[in-house]
Chain A
Amino acid sequence: MKNILNRIILMLGLLSVLYAMESCKPKGPAAVTTGDAASKVYVAPGQYDEFYNFVSGGFNGQMAVYGLPSGRLFRNIPVFSVNPESGYGYSEETKPMLNTSHGFIPWDDLHHPALSTTKGEHDGRWLFGNANNTPRVGRIDLTTFRTVEIIELPNSGGNHSSPFITENTEYVVAGTRFSVPMGENRDVPISSYKENFKGSISFIKVNPETGRMNIEFQLRTPGFNYDLSRAGKGPSHGWFFFSCYNTEQAHTLLEVNASRNDKDFIMAVNWKKAEEYLAQGKGRKEKAQYAHNVYDERTHTATSTMMNEVTVLDVMEFPDIVYFIPCPKSPHGCDVDPSGEFIVGSGKLAAVMPVFSFGKIQTAITNKDFEGDFGGIPVIKYESALHGEVKKPGLGPLHTEFDANGNAYTSFFVSSEIVKWNVKTLEVLDRVPTYYSIGHLCVPGGPTAKPHGKYVIAYNKITKDRYLPTGPELTQSAQLYSIDGDKMQLLLDFPTIGEPHYAEALPASLIKDKSVKIYKIEENEHPFAAKGEKMARVERKGNEVHVYMTAIRSHLTPDNIEGVRVGDDVYFHVTNLEQDWDVPHGFAIKGATNAEILIMPGETQTLKYKPLKAGVIPFYCTDFCSALHQEMSGYLRVSPAGSNTPLKFSTGDTGGQK
């Protein structure tokens, strides 16, 4: 009996030990929002969000527009990728937007949005974005939310440290990620990296009135990798700072070979000095081929111009343009605080985060406080440039944004967290986890001289178990945190499309009232516009057939077309005659090998169609426009090649049929 009792006690003891062990196991991330989070992100139906959030789409080549704090998606603006939904890159008018010196490129990798600024503050005029793969910079007009200009960058091997803009949007700057051979002979052994490979930084001048871009000059720089950048502001206006890695100049297995040096560089560029040299005619004209594509909102048509020359200034010949500052272990982010005095370098593999002082950098340059040179370019002593180090900040620092109260927010990829710290005292104030592996982060106005604050948004690389699973490919995601109090507070997760890299946010009040509602039909200068149903017609020029078509609720004019032959090139130039907000029409035709087109009120867009078979082909409006949208359709009769069916077109002609 005692024996049995002992056994039971032993069993219970064992069970309780097992239970205790089980409950000691570390727990996974639980829900960490507090009770009032929902009310802080709730934007009631019919109400507006406080901020626009422009989020790069990464490998989808587009720019997504969200509202904050709700996280609602409003638009996905095609920039470097074709969009069959609207016809961007498919319509005759928009095809030239994606032209490059390599021909038509339907895709790219968009990493960094940059909002235009005046006096270092958001002015709500333009949004720039980079094409990382085939180097280009695009400009979106914030009155139409459309890509209106794309300029290709010659001498660039991958446009990653781009686009970053000066205080008054004087320049959009784009540094090459990869160094590549430049000059006449580019067919060189890869192993001749140290000898032949060079870096290149493009300074794109922006017309202050029109926003029109042109490559004013390029700096030829030493051969390694240029990662990210920020312009100086306030006292440091006139300077630019770039993070550089692979100062080992490795050309293979960079993972290992480019991580050897204890310190790489922050490159400080005195661009006002570069301008002086250029004014003295020191720039060298070099042959280069690059496309400059501009969309004209009056003709509703883009034109692509092939440029053939660029002005180059080799910094090795002018050593007072550029200075290097040692920065620990492959720096990624290189961010300038709102005052313009402090520059934060984020060594991806470093245990400390250095903050450099612009004032100290200037003193070091004056006193020639250099520790040596790299390829003839002075390297400032680390300690002489340093304001201080943030100790034990976290693992894998990437990017830093700022609020208006002297605080910085840095993302840590490896330890998957946001760390808040004080820029002056370098003291860590707070940290919150992100789910999971944050890349970029965004504080509204965070990179400007006047941050709007309120929130920090994390853009994460991994979501794992945060959402309902959708097979091997999961949604990307953003997370919204309040930064109003001393402690950061997680408020909301919201899924994003593409892969979000950098993002910017600005108050909706800066742009919402400037939004274009319609294009005025009387200002339409498209050469194939039909600005009224009386002007709708069909014209043949050899084997080209031009249909001047109009669309208005709820019919297309003409809607019966005969006399088209197999082998013709038929151009449907569709003009939307509506002058009412939110009434686009669409146009699609059976068997079209390109896409559909969406035509905004007052606009003209063209879809090219090549009939391959004889028959009667229906076409219709794709954008549900009215109660009689389903009736908005027509027929194209296609006759065999060489037949002599007369060219005929009509709308509402019953042809005697009762």
Chain B
Amino acid sequence: MKKLKTSTRFIIAVVSLAMISALYVPLWQILMWAPQYPEGLEMKIWIDNITGDVKIISALNHYIGMKHIEVSMFPEFSYMKYIVLGLMGFGLLTALIGRRIVLVLFALLIAATGIVALVDFYMWGYDYGHNLDPTAPIVVPGMSYQPPLIGTKQLLNFTAFSGPDTGSWIFVVIGLTIFGVLGLEIFKYGKKNSSV
């Protein structure tokens, strides 16, 4: 079994602990502009809450039959922080055990979590944008209002932007670091020091 270098284990421990910050910063942001809202409207998604101009956005979206955005429509909020804490625990365990195979698992887990989160967010966006109230005051045939997954999209009079906020960027850095040290372990230290 391949053992990890002490420095690698230290880095894994540090970035795992850094995950705790995700509990205290917004993870995702949706920004919207319209002729009537030159100052813009924003919605921030946290680990267990949504903040920003949610009421105003909901009030505007009800015209086209979109659901009222509420915390209760995201069951994810009830368990997301445990996923992060679990991930963090796994990271610390990886540092403790110090075996390369566990690090491989940890890296895959991080990647999988990211992908699942994006898929989950896409599915919410699809439902929010497509599952419209048929009795809505404004029905534009064939029109749906799914917010962009990442990037900018024009939705009627609104320009909507969706993208990672501080928390997600922290995860991106963590993910890159983990894959980076894994790469070093395999391609650099691994060759010099093939067995311990």
- The complex places the Cα of A527 from the Cα of B59 at a distance, in Å, of 26
Chain A residues 533 to 592 lying within 8 A of chain B, measured CB to CB, are 552-554, 578-580
Q: For residue B137, which residues in chain A have a CB less than 8 angstroms away from its CB?
A: 554, 627-628, 631
By CB atoms of chain A within 10 A, which of B53, B56, B59, B138 has the most?
B59
- The complex places the Cα of A16 from the Cα of B152 at a distance, in Å, of 77
- The complex places the Cα of A128 from the Cα of B63 at a distance, in Å, of 44
Given the contacts A627-B138, A628-B137, A579 and B56 also touching, CB distance less than 8 Å: yes
Q: Which of B53, B56, B59, B63 is A627 in contact with, Cβ under 8 Å?
A: B63
Q: For residue B59, which residues in chain A have a CB less than 8 angstroms away from its CB?
A: 552-553, 578, 580
CB nearest neighbor in B for A579? B55
CB nearest neighbor in B for A626? B63
- The complex places the Cα of A553 from the Cα of B61 at a distance, in Å, of 11
Asked if B56 and A580 sit within 8 Å, CB to CB, the answer is yes
Chain B 36-69: CB-based contact to A (< 8 A → 1; otherwise 0): 0000000000000000010110010001000000
- The complex places the Cα of A21 from the Cα of B112 at a distance, in Å, of 99
Q: For residue A554, which residues in chain B have a CB less than 8 angstroms away from its CB?
A: 137
Number of A residues near B (Cβ < 8 Å) is 10
Q: For residue A627, which residues in chain B have a CB less than 8 angstroms away from its CB?
A: 63, 137-138
- The complex places the Cα of A580 from the Cα of B52 at a distance, in Å, of 12
CB nearest neighbor in A for B38? A46
Q: How many of chain B's residues touch chain A, expressed as a range? A: under 10
- The complex places the Cα of A579 from the Cα of B59 at a distance, in Å, of 10
What's the minimum C-beta distance from A32 to chain B, rounded to whole angstroms?
A: 39
Taking chain A's interface residues, is the majority helix, strand, or loop, or is none over half, making it mixed? loop
What's the minimum C-beta distance from B7 to chain A, rounded to whole angstroms?
A: 51
Asked if B55 and A628 sit within 8 Å, CB to CB, the answer is no
Across chains A and B, the number of contacting residue pairs, with CB separation under 8 Å, is 16
Chain B 85-113: CB-based contact to A (< 8 A → 1; otherwise 0): 00000000000000000000000000000
Asked if B56 and A628 sit within 8 Å, CB to CB, the answer is no
Q: For residue B55, which residues in chain A have a CB less than 8 angstroms away from its CB?
A: 579
CB nearest neighbor in B for A578? B59
What's the minimum C-beta distance from B51 to chain A, rounded to whole angstroms?
A: 14
Taking chain B's interface residues, is the majority helix, strand, or loop, or is none over half, making it mixed? helix
What's the minimum C-beta distance from A626 to chain B, rounded to whole angstroms?
A: 8
Q: For residue A578, which residues in chain B have a CB less than 8 angstroms away from its CB?
A: 59
What's the minimum C-beta distance from A559 to chain B, rounded to whole angstroms?
A: 15
What's the minimum C-beta distance from B22 to chain A, rounded to whole angstroms?
A: 29
CB nearest neighbor in A for B53? A580
What's the minimum C-beta distance from B148 to chain A, rounded to whole angstroms?
A: 24
What's the minimum C-beta distance from B66 to chain A, rounded to whole angstroms?
A: 14
- The complex places the Cα of A628 from the Cα of B138 at a distance, in Å, of 9
- The complex places the Cα of A553 from the Cα of B36 at a distance, in Å, of 15
Q: For residue B53, which residues in chain A have a CB less than 8 angstroms away from its CB?
A: 580
Chain A residues 619 to 653 lying within 8 A of chain B, measured CB to CB, are 626-628, 631
- The complex places the Cα of A552 from the Cα of B59 at a distance, in Å, of 9
What's the minimum C-beta distance from B123 to chain A, rounded to whole angstroms?
A: 29
What's the minimum C-beta distance from B59 to chain A, rounded to whole angstroms?
A: 6
- The complex places the Cα of A552 from the Cα of B55 at a distance, in Å, of 12
Q: For residue B56, which residues in chain A have a CB less than 8 angstroms away from its CB?
A: 579-580
What's the minimum C-beta distance from A152 to chain B, rounded to whole angstroms?
A: 42
Q: For residue B63, which residues in chain A have a CB less than 8 angstroms away from its CB?
A: 626-628
Chain A residues 599 to 636 lying within 8 A of chain B, measured CB to CB, are 626-628, 631
What's the minimum C-beta distance from A115 to chain B, rounded to whole angstroms?
A: 28
- The complex places the Cα of A580 from the Cα of B137 at a distance, in Å, of 21
What's the minimum C-beta distance from B54 to chain A, rounded to whole angstroms?
A: 11
- The complex places the Cα of A87 from the Cα of B100 at a distance, in Å, of 76
- The complex places the Cα of A626 from the Cα of B63 at a distance, in Å, of 10
Q: For residue A626, which residues in chain B have a CB less than 8 angstroms away from its CB?
A: 63
Q: For residue A553, which residues in chain B have a CB less than 8 angstroms away from its CB?
A: 59
CB nearest neighbor in A for B39? A581
- The complex places the Cα of A2 from the Cα of B138 at a distance, in Å, of 95
- The complex places the Cα of A631 from the Cα of B137 at a distance, in Å, of 10
- The complex places the Cα of A553 from the Cα of B56 at a distance, in Å, of 10
Q: For residue A579, which residues in chain B have a CB less than 8 angstroms away from its CB?
A: 55-56
What's the minimum C-beta distance from B58 to chain A, rounded to whole angstroms?
A: 11
Q: For residue A580, which residues in chain B have a CB less than 8 angstroms away from its CB?
A: 53, 56, 59
What's the minimum C-beta distance from A145 to chain B, rounded to whole angstroms?
A: 20
CB nearest neighbor in B for A628? B137
- The complex places the Cα of A410 from the Cα of B55 at a distance, in Å, of 55
What's the minimum C-beta distance from B118 to chain A, rounded to whole angstroms?
A: 31
What's the minimum C-beta distance from B73 to chain A, rounded to whole angstroms?
A: 20
Q: What are the 5 closest A-B residue pairs judged by CB atoms, nearest first?
A: A580-B56, A628-B137, A553-B59, A579-B55, A627-B63
* Interface CB pairs A-B, < 8 A, 10: A552-B59, A554-B137, A578-B59, A579-B55, A579-B56, A580-B53, A580-B56, A627-B63, A627-B137, A628-B137
- Contacts from B to A (Cβ < 8 Å): 53, 55-56, 59, 63, 137-138
Extra A-B contacts (13), CB below 8 Å, given A553-B59, A627-B138, A631-B137: A552-B59, A554-B137, A578-B59, A579-B55, A579-B56, A580-B53, A580-B56, A580-B59, A626-B63, A627-B63, A627-B137, A628-B63, A628-B137
- Contacts from A to B (Cβ < 8 Å): 552-554, 578-580, 626-628, 631
